[in-house]
Structure 1
Amino acid sequence: MSTDTGNDARQQWKTWREERTETVCAPYGPLSLTGTYWLADATEGRFPAIPGHWTEDGDAVLLTATAADGLTVDGRPLNGEVRLGVDKGPAAAARVDYGGRKILVLRREGLWAVRVFDPGSAGRRAFTAIDAFEYDEDWVLPGVFRPYDGSRRVQVENADGRERGLGLDGELTFTAAGSAFALQVAVEVDGTLWAVFADGTSGDTSYRFRFLRTPAPGVDGRVAVDFNHALLPPCAFADHFICPFPPPGNTLPIAVPAGERRVLVG
């Protein structure tokens, strides 16, 4: 890599880090998540942290509330009931608001839940920075994506202690430290690749696992694997996320001293 190209890549990485910090500490970013509540665990449709009566209603969640509860839906006070589907956008765009807190509806493997994002969360107030390894151009590696004949689904433990299915579409192969490795990856809607991985730094000099995203592979499967952009998973920022742990085979037997390391708090 030429000096100019290396400097450009380093500057792009610095810009990415700045944008990443802005995203995670935004009012309704991951640091603001204060709870994930499953309807299956609700006592008579009630949650301790939010008002209203929440029940499953076929392909939606039925929310019933009075004006005194202080909930708004689409900017209007709720006094009655409303059916809510999955919130597919960011938390800031969630339909339900409770005193500035956004309540987002989600569904995982047929189970409904609601999440509460509070701009005044303790996590958001305590956050100071995302610690990261220094940029290292040696961790920008040529890779090849090899799709499976069909998508696979494996059961993996999640950060909340439950096992859930993780969809996998192929293997991303690359060479590092003189050895060949492969990560099982999923193909996103836009064609980019996503992996959950751990390595020799995990739980030591970095968080216990990380995410890796790459551009969409070319028609020949070739793609750049840039570990400098390895991401902390959402559960590194708030305990209430349900991030999947690495699937079998995605724990690399080498240290990868590149990418995000841990969340720093004051």
Structure 2
Amino acid sequence: MSTDAEQDGQSPADWRRWHEERIVAVAAPHGPLSLTGTHWLSDHPDGRIPGVPGRWREDGDEVLLTAGPEDGLTLDTKPLTGEARLGPDRGPIDTSRVARGDRRLVVLRREGLWAVRDFDPASPARHAFRTIEATPYDPRWSLDGVFRPYDTDRTVRVENADGHERGLGLGGEIAFTLDGSAHTLQVAVEPDGSLWAVFADATSGRGSYRFRFLRPAAPDAEGRVRVDFNRALLPPCAFADHFICPFPPPGNTLPVAVAAGERNRVDA
């Protein structure tokens, strides 16, 4: 007879499939390993970004891109010659509007600042990557939790992986019990109702990456949620230095060693 956890998709076989799919997604042509640069336009007032074709300038709520035939850029799969006005790209990387061959040039906006990200399938990091080191599934780390929403959303300032401090939106906390001790993690609420936690623990920087992500599914009508550390994720900045991942907010460093989930990137 299967257990409740197995019926909910929490089993060693389900975890192995999830782990294998993660490795494939990370190593995809436009996965996180392909990011070769995040270029803030404020650092390039003349609009010229070293190694990136075209001229990119801020223009209020848009980015003005100017390109000639020699730049080899396409916009919406068609050759771009002249000017184009761009907003932030919000879809998958391979659907970004601007490309040069296999490269994708993604427009990003954070706290009023504009940037261009360069995703190149030929990146050295992508070709050096071998796998993701992860701890095999252990039912001990799949826990019952309760989501407690805040009365109003909160924003806390946290350091990011690029050394700058930015706001992190939080919509509530999840409470759970591990080995008889009560713990909480502050979480953001995604548009589809799922949750996102940035956390550290006693293994961070000592056997696992310095912090990790947890993405529980949306709570049920009673607020119940599965807190499955077997599916703790490496953040994008574990695969490329050019991501600006937020560090854990105050209170999200667990005093226990979470020996579960993804731990580190492994290169050949």
Q: Which band: TM-score by shorter chain?
A: over 0.9
Instruction: Please name the residue that 1:187 is paired with.
Output: 189
Instruction: Please name the residue that 1:154 is paired with.
Output: 156
Alpha-carbon separation, structure 1, partners of 2:5 and 2:70 = 60
Q: Any idea what SS the aligned residue of 1:239 has?
A: coil
Instruction: Please name the residue that 1:124 is paired with.
Output: 126
Code of the residue aligned with 1:109 in structure 2: it is E
Code of the residue aligned with 1:56 in structure 2: it is E
Instruction: Confirm or deny that 1:56 pairs with 2:50.
Output: no
Alpha-carbon separation, structure 1, partners of 2:66 and 2:194 = 40
Code of the residue aligned with 2:230 in structure 1: it is N
TM-score, scaled relative to structure 2:
0.96
Code of the residue aligned with 1:19 in structure 2: it is E
What RMSD in Å do the two structures reach over aligned CA positions?
A: 1.5
| Structure 1 runs (4+) greater than 6 angstroms displaced | none
Alpha-carbon separation, structure 1, partners of 2:92 and 2:237 = 16
Alpha-carbon separation, structure 2, partners of 1:142 and 1:100 = 44
Instruction: Confirm or deny that 1:259 pairs with 2:238.
Output: no
Q: Any idea what SS the aligned residue of 1:214 has?
A: coil
Among the aligned pairs, what percent are the same residue? 65
User: How many residues align structurally?
Assistant: 266
Q: Classify 1:5/1:176 alpha carbon distance in 2 versus 1 (closer, same or farther; 3 Å).
A: closer
- For residues 229-266 of structure 1, what are the alpha-carbon distances to aligned partners after superposition, in whole Å with 9 as ceiling and x for unaligned? 00000000000000000000000000000100000001
TM-superposed deviation, 1:6: 4.9
Aligned 8 A contact 1:6 1:137 in 2? no
Q: Extract unaligned runs of 5+ from structure 2.
A: none
Instruction: Please name the residue that 1:76 is paired with.
Output: 78
Code of the residue aligned with 2:203 in structure 1: it is T
TM-superposed deviation, 1:100: 1.7
Q: Classify 1:218/1:4 alpha carbon distance in 2 versus 1 (closer, same or farther; 3 Å).
A: closer
TM-superposed deviation, 1:74: 1.1
Instruction: Please name the residue that 2:245 is paired with.
Output: 243
- For residues 115-147 of structure 1, what are the alpha-carbon distances to aligned partners after superposition, in whole Å with 9 as ceiling and x for unaligned? 000000000000000000121001000101101
TM-superposed deviation, 1:99: 2.9
Instruction: Please name the residue that 2:25 is paired with.
Output: 23
Code of the residue aligned with 2:155 in structure 1: it is R
Alpha-carbon separation, structure 2, partners of 1:47 and 1:261 = 34
TM-superposed deviation, 1:10: 1.0
Instruction: Please name the residue that 1:168 is paired with.
Output: 170
Segment drifting more, 194-203 vs 94-103:
94-103
Alignment partner for residue 98 of structure 1, among 97, 100, 121? 100
